Amino acid sequence: MKVVANTREAQGSGASRRLRRADKVPGILFGGKSEPTPIELEHNPLYHALRVESFHSSILDMELDGKPERVLLRDVQWHPYKAQVMHIDFQRVAADQRITLKVPLHFVNQENSPAVKLSAAIVGHVMNELLISCLAADLPEFIEVDLTNLTPGTTVFLRDLQMPKGVTPVLHGKENPVVATCTVPGAVEEEPAAEAAPAAVAPAAAPAAAAKKPEKK
């Protein structure tokens, strides 16, 4: 996707307000070997582009003052209650540099799985996006979660997914989060039988109190 931007000369909160009144969005382009560059973009084309899922997880072709840049969307600030973009950040991308980005998960073949077709199971999507690391050329727009073989009671973990070539999930140690769950309405899960507790031993009867001997006079 293409983004058209121009270098922003005036800076500061007052200059940003004037830009917004002119239906433009202040922003910043950072990264690479260049200094951060203040930029401005037309609001309406940017607003509509932000409604496209791939705009958030793809390498974008930016035309900055007529020169090409390859960039990633990094942050968007919205007005608290208006449909207005207040500020936007982009990052330059180098072909030989690994990038870290969240990409959406697309669940497919759920309706055709044995769990749904045969058992009317309910599939819960625990994760909807995933943080990954890869080179710019390997960046996928999304990662597919194929549920064709999903069976009742199955839990899909992250390490069950097939990652695209060159893509590595960003995890912490041995973390393996749940991606999706599958439950059958009305099914009662059997709990493992509790181990029999040892029979309680009745306490021994207390010995009768010794009779007092009569005192000698």
What does the pLDDT read at residue 201? 46
Residue type, 32: G
The string of pLDDT tens digits covering residues 1-29 is 889 999 998 888 899 999 999 999 999 99
User: What is the mean pLDDT of the segment spanning 177-183?
Assistant: 93
Residue 167 near residue 140 (C-beta atoms within 8 A): yes
- CA pair distance 161, 70, nearest whole angstrom: 29
- CA pair distance 24, 5, nearest whole angstrom: 10
The string of pLDDT tens digits covering residues 52-85 is 999 999 999 999 999 999 999 999 999 999 999 9
Residue 200 pLDDT greater than 70, yes or no: no
Residue 123 near residue 181 (C-beta atoms within 8 A): yes
DSSP calls for 131-179: EEEEEGGG--S-EEEE-TT--TT-EEEGGGS-PPTT-EE---TT---EE
